[in-house]
Amino acid sequence: MTPINMSSDTQTLPTERMYDAMRSAPLGDDMLRADPTVNRLEEIAAEKVGKEAALFVPSGTMGNLVALMVHAKPGDEVLLDAESHIYYYEAGSVASVAGLMPRVVGSRRGRLDPDQVAAAVRKRDQHFPVPRVLCLENTHNRSGGCIVPVELQNRLAAVAHERGLAVHLDGARIFDAAVATGLPAAAFTEHVDSVMFCLSKGLSCPAGSVIAGTAAFIEQARLVRKRLGGAMRQAGILAACGVVALETMIERLAEDHTRARRLAEQISTIPGLSVDLESVQTNMVYVDHTGTGLDTDEVLTRLATAGVLASDRAPTHIRLVANRHHGDAEITEAVERIRRAVSD
Which residues of this chain interact with ligand TLP, rule CB under 6 A?
Answer: 8, 10, 59-61, 85, 89, 137, 141, 170, 172, 198, 200, 209
**Amino acid type, 256:** D
| Closer of 77 and 170 to ligand TLP (Cβ) | 170
Report in angstroms how near the CB of residue 269 gets to ligand TLP at its nearest: 26
| Closer of 121 and 322 to ligand TLP (Cβ) | 322
Nearest of 317, 63, 282 to residue 173 by alpha carbon: 282
Query: For the chain, where are the alpha helices, taking DSSP H only?
Result: 16-24, 36-48, 60-71, 85-89, 93-96, 114-120, 150-162, 174-181, 185-189, 215-227, 236-248, 253-267, 296-306, 328-343
Report in angstroms how near the CB of residue 239 gets to ligand TLP at its nearest: 15
| Closer of 121 and 172 to ligand TLP (Cβ) | 172
Distance CA(126)–CA(148), nearest Å, equals: 34
Residue nearest to ligand TLP (CB): 60
Q: CB atoms < 10 A from the CB of 1, how many?
A: 8
Write the DSSP symbol of residue 11.
G
Burial of 328 (0-12, 13-18, 19+ CB in 10 A): exposed
Alpha carbon of 331 to those of 115, 264, 283, 287: distances in Å? 41, 10, 13, 15
Report in angstroms how near the CB of residue 133 gets to ligand TLP at its nearest: 16
User: Interhelix angle for 60-71 vs 215-227, to 10°?
Assistant: 110
| Closer of 234 and 283 to ligand TLP (Cβ) | 283
Report in angstroms how near the CB of residue 61 gets to ligand TLP at its nearest: 3
Distance CA(337)–CA(236), nearest Å, equals: 41
Report in angstroms how near the CB of residue 209 gets to ligand TLP at its nearest: 6
| Closer of 168 and 261 to ligand TLP (Cβ) | 168
Report in angstroms how near the CB of residue 232 gets to ligand TLP at its nearest: 14
| Closer of 170 and 255 to ligand TLP (Cβ) | 170
Report in angstroms how near the CB of residue 189 gets to ligand TLP at its nearest: 15
| Closer of 121 and 303 to ligand TLP (Cβ) | 303
Sheet holding 194-198, edge to edge: 53-57, 209-213, 194-198, 166-170, 131-137, 77-81, 101-105
